[in-house]
A and B are shown apart, each in its own frame.
Chain A
């Protein structure tokens, strides 16, 4: 059995909506191995995003614990979580969330500004080449197609050399052919040793992962 990169025990999250509690995720156990490619599927509202945000340390769980690369994170404050997130996790959003005033190249470099690493132009060029964005380096997001924007946001997730990429419906806003290309890219990254957790609606795409986790009503129903 390979090393685990991330493990969750008894993870749950509930939100208050008016007077009632919404249990978005109920006591969930999950572990993902190094270099594993995992898809999370399930109907809308089943808790996929909630699970991914908790695993990505973007949100604090109501209960349960997460350890990342063997390190327990439950006791960490936001300021330490930042460092863990920065070094280990790359996030990709459905809405891309690029900064409209920055060029493709600058958007990719943005996390380096926060991690205070110097910009290695060769490495950035390498990332852009792999993502087929070299000719777009000086363009602004509004000049790009959806697939290109998503590749920029993948580049941004990769720039800090994380051990794992988490993507929440990365192809939700893309057409089938473009979505397929993005998955091929994920597959290639995975073959290079990167772990991936990708939430999707699309069963066919989900099937290209090593492992498919199904969620319903905040619980894992098959793995």
Chain B
């Protein structure tokens, strides 16, 4: 027998209460861990997604920076357009590796928005070297051909070779290729050759945006200044887009998080109360131990160890649940937050595991140190009397 087995046996004696307290700690830790993981994962994932667009900045019509931000992410419509002469001017600027014109159009089918991208295929392949296609890509001068994203194909049950009546003019269009899964929003879109898209939607000569890749990222701000000198153009860099989204998300996140933190706080108070009570109730037993030779230190140690067993066991259970249930939490959070990037939102970071263990230790120590010191100071008789009165 040692002090640990003594502590464990004491806990087993009140197994219902011990179990409930462990469960309480576990829930608190699971919530805390999910919260922290989500926070870390969200920002990382968003950054990753913007990078995976392969674009450093967008030239958009003046006056629409917010629309532009949402357009990059969701797709969307901007009520103004750029022209091919704007594109010429952009291409004249030094240091731009690719300036790829795009037309975006949105239409509704069964009340669900569909996004169409008119693109220049070779430039897009250069911007997104990870693109792979089942079937083939279209040629830029082709009409009646399109490529669709993987998720879209699955949702609409589309197959390579299938022909759709597309756009307001019901132009028969063949699906020549389906993109392999990219993990970002490209999975949701229709892609057409730029000229064909302009024709189908009656937007000849009009461009929604110009996607720009520079040859040296250190020149991004210099190039963006030059672009801004073109009268019709406003520049949105990916850093700005990220900031805009983080702001948008920030307020919803803050509300959600404050509710959760209040809940955590309430449960922590409950846990602290139970832990302190269960020590107080047994002061008499600790008095007996002192009478048979336990020192103040022995008793304090026993109290601290018992409490830490509970909080650390709760931490272990909580982390297991959180790791196992991260998909559920992710689903819940996606429903609440205004914009969520694709991919895994919850990032499992060993550092966060340490934070949670630290939190469990802190609660354990917080709850046990005071009763431990108090018990240690009492004479054996004071302790033995303390709950008889």
Interface size class of B (residues with CB under 8 A): 20 to 34
Report yes or no: B9 in contact with A97, Cβ–Cβ below 8 A.
Answer: no
Query: In the assembled complex, which residues on chain A have CB atoms less than 8 Å from the CB atom of B232?
Result: none
- Within the assembled complex, what's the spacing in Å between the Cα atoms of A102 and B8? 11
Contact indicator per residue, chain A 113-142, by CB within 8 Å of chain B (1) or not (0): 111000100000000000000000000000
- Within the assembled complex, what's the spacing in Å between the Cα atoms of A51 and B76? 90
Query: In the assembled complex, which residues on chain B have CB atoms less than 8 Å from the CB atom of A79?
Result: 295-297
A59 at the interface (CB under 8 A from B): yes
Answer whether A111 and B292 are a contact pair too, CB < 8 Å, given A100-B13, A101-B12, A106-B1: yes
Answer whether A85 and B379 are a contact pair too, CB < 8 Å, given A102-B9, A113-B1, A113-B6: no
Query: In the assembled complex, which residues on chain A have CB atoms less than 8 Å from the CB atom of B3?
Result: 113
Report yes or no: A97 in contact with B293, Cβ–Cβ below 8 A.
Answer: no
Contact indicator per residue, chain B 297-315, by CB within 8 Å of chain A (1) or not (0): 1100000000000000000
Query: In the assembled complex, which residues on chain A have CB atoms less than 8 Å from the CB atom of B49?
Result: none
Contact indicator per residue, chain B 1-26, by CB within 8 Å of chain A (1) or not (0): 11100100110110000000000000
Query: In the assembled complex, which residues on chain A have CB atoms less than 8 Å from the CB atom of B177?
Result: none
Interface residues of B in 276-308 (CB under 8 A from A): 284-285, 288-298
- Within the assembled complex, what's the spacing in Å between the Cα atoms of A160 and B293? 9
- Within the assembled complex, what's the spacing in Å between the Cα atoms of A91 and B291? 7
Report yes or no: B381 in contact with A156, Cβ–Cβ below 8 A.
Answer: no
Report yes or no: B296 in contact with A82, Cβ–Cβ below 8 A.
Answer: yes
Contact indicator per residue, chain A 99-113, by CB within 8 Å of chain B (1) or not (0): 111100010011101
Interface residues of A in 46-87 (CB under 8 A from B): 53, 56, 58-60, 78-79, 82, 85-86
Report yes or no: B288 in contact with A85, Cβ–Cβ below 8 A.
Answer: no
Query: In the assembled complex, which residues on chain A have CB atoms less than 8 Å from the CB atom of B379?
Result: 58-60, 78
- Within the assembled complex, what's the spacing in Å between the Cα atoms of A156 and B297? 20
B-side interface mostly: helix
A11 at the interface (CB under 8 A from B): no
Contact indicator per residue, chain B 363-389, by CB within 8 Å of chain A (1) or not (0): 000000000000001011110100000
B287 to chain A, nearest CB (A): 8
Taking a contact as CB atoms closer than 8 A, the residue among A56, A86, A97 that contacts B288 in the complex is A97
Contact indicator per residue, chain B 61-87, by CB within 8 Å of chain A (1) or not (0): 000000000000000000000000000
Contact indicator per residue, chain A 134-156, by CB within 8 Å of chain B (1) or not (0): 00000000000000000000001
- Within the assembled complex, what's the spacing in Å between the Cα atoms of A85 and B20? 38
Query: In the assembled complex, which residues on chain A have CB atoms less than 8 Å from the CB atom of B384?
Result: 58, 97
Taking a contact as CB atoms closer than 8 A, the residue among B12, B292, B380 that contacts A156 in the complex is B292
Query: In the assembled complex, which residues on chain A have CB atoms less than 8 Å from the CB atom of B293?
Result: 82, 85-86, 111, 114-115, 160
- Within the assembled complex, what's the spacing in Å between the Cα atoms of A156 and B293? 11
Query: In the assembled complex, which residues on chain B have CB atoms less than 8 Å from the CB atom of A109?
Result: 1
Report yes or no: B290 in contact with A82, Cβ–Cβ below 8 A.
Answer: yes
A183 at the interface (CB under 8 A from B): no
Answer whether A113 and B2 are a contact pair too, CB < 8 Å, given A59-B379, A82-B296, A101-B13: yes
Interface size class of A (residues with CB under 8 A): 20 to 34
Report yes or no: B292 in contact with A59, Cβ–Cβ below 8 A.
Answer: no
A149 to chain B, nearest CB (A): 13
- Within the assembled complex, what's the spacing in Å between the Cα atoms of A167 and B9? 27
Query: In the assembled complex, which residues on chain A have CB atoms less than 8 Å from the CB atom of B292?
Result: 90-91, 110-111, 114, 156-157
A50 to chain B, nearest CB (A): 9
Query: In the assembled complex, which residues on chain B have CB atoms less than 8 Å from the CB atom of A91?
Result: 291-292
- Within the assembled complex, what's the spacing in Å between the Cα atoms of A101 and B10? 7
Query: In the assembled complex, which residues on chain B have CB atoms less than 8 Å from the CB atom of A78?
Result: 296, 377, 379
Query: In the assembled complex, which residues on chain B have CB atoms less than 8 Å from the CB atom of A59?
Result: 379-382
A139 to chain B, nearest CB (A): 15
- Within the assembled complex, what's the spacing in Å between the Cα atoms of A138 and B284? 25
Residue of B nearest to A119 (CB): B1
- Within the assembled complex, what's the spacing in Å between the Cα atoms of A150 and B113? 82
Query: In the assembled complex, which residues on chain B have CB atoms less than 8 Å from the CB atom of A110?
Result: 1, 289, 292
Query: In the assembled complex, which residues on chain A have CB atoms less than 8 Å from the CB atom of B294?
Result: 82, 114
- Within the assembled complex, what's the spacing in Å between the Cα atoms of A78 and B380? 10
A161 to chain B, nearest CB (A): 12
Residue of B nearest to A90 (CB): B292
Query: In the assembled complex, which residues on chain A have CB atoms less than 8 Å from the CB atom of B381?
Result: 53, 58-59
B356 to chain A, nearest CB (A): 30
- Within the assembled complex, what's the spacing in Å between the Cα atoms of A145 and B234? 91
B213 to chain A, nearest CB (A): 70
Query: In the assembled complex, which residues on chain B have CB atoms less than 8 Å from the CB atom of A60?
Result: 379
- Within the assembled complex, what's the spacing in Å between the Cα atoms of A86 and B290? 9
B330 to chain A, nearest CB (A): 43
Instruction: Knowing that A58-B384, A91-B291, A114-B289 touch, tell me 9 more A-B residue pairs with CB under 8 angstroms.
Output: A58-B291, A82-B293, A97-B288, A97-B384, A113-B2, A113-B298, A115-B293, A119-B1, A160-B293
The 10 closest A-B pairs by CB, nearest first: A86-B293, A101-B9, A59-B381, A97-B288, A58-B380, A114-B294, A114-B293, A82-B295, A111-B292, A111-B293
Can you list 23 A-B pairs with a CB-CB distance of less than 8 A? A53-B381, A56-B291, A58-B291, A58-B384, A59-B379, A60-B379, A78-B379, A79-B295, A79-B296, A82-B294, A82-B295, A86-B293, A90-B292, A93-B291, A100-B13, A101-B12, A110-B292, A111-B292, A114-B298, A115-B293, A156-B292, A157-B292, A160-B293
